Structure 1
Amino acid sequence: MTTQHTATASVATTAAPRYAKQLASHLGRRSEIRYLGHSENEHASQTGHASENEHAGQTGHASENEHAGQTGNENDNSDIAIVLTVGECRLHSTPESLELTATANSEDDLHTVTRVIGSHLERFGQRNELTVDWKR
């Protein structure tokens, strides 16, 4: 049996749903995204075509306008799971914060998940000085 490694972060923002959707939209090009309702039975998935390692080296910046038109089953009350090849991160929006829970099968893989998710969120929230401080 493999031990699951976990890290959490609480990112203070009143725009949590917007940042969660932006992360899902951007990373969804290369990863699986699951929109989870209040029940595990309520979800929709979309799958990208490349690994997060390919994505981690990407330096391009997507504009907020690219993410604004996303449609589907997502809504402000849904949790979002971003599934990378080495682990996943669940995003939960509250009125005051975006709650992140990253999981992976090894510390190295957990580091990759937290680095990919954290660096993108900080870049998207640079204007609002968002910081992601992971706790293990």
Structure 2
Amino acid sequence: MPRSEARVTTDRPHRYAKQLASHLGRKVESSWDDETGHGALTFSAGTATLTAEPGVLLLAVEGEADSLDRLEDVVGRHLVRFGAKDELVAEWHRDNGTPGSVQRNDAEDAAG
């Protein structure tokens, strides 16, 4: 199954991963383990994993090729919105070598 990954640099990877799992858990199946720093999200179109490591939040999504854009967008957009003050950026890299999407707060979004 096609896979895409993003490394999001942050001083608070556990906080953001937990917040993302909690928020998206209102609409999809989610889990988060504070002790291990691992979480998962199950969407109808695929899955996402969250791994908090020192200084970085590792994100991975897997799904059919036509669903990777949407999975990257949903996971990345929510994370970037939560981390607006920290100017988080989710830049996705796909396992087949094609570029993934990028989510970041634009100056207009941050002002609004």
TM-score range, shorter chain: 0.7 to 0.9
Alpha carbons of 1:10 and 1:112: their partners in 2 closer, same or farther (altered >3 Å)?
same
Percent sequence identity is 37
Aligned to 2:102: none
Structure number with the higher strand fraction is: 2
| Matched residues, number | 94
Can you give the 5+ residue segments of structure 2 that lack an aligned partner in the other structure? 95-112
Aligned to 1:116: 74
| Structure 1 consecutive aligned stretches of length 4 or more whose deviation exceeds 2 Å | none
Can you give the 5+ residue segments of structure 1 that lack an aligned partner in the other structure? 36-73
Query: What does 1:24-43 correspond to in 2, within 5 Å?
Result: 24-35=21-32
In our comparison, the structure showing a higher alpha carbon Rg is: 1
Aligned to 2:44: 85
TM-score, scaled to structure 2: 0.80
Aligned to 1:11: 8
SS in 1 for 2:7: strand
TM-score, scaled to structure 1: 0.66
Using CA pairs below 8 Å that are at least 6 residues apart, which structure has the higher relative contact order? 1
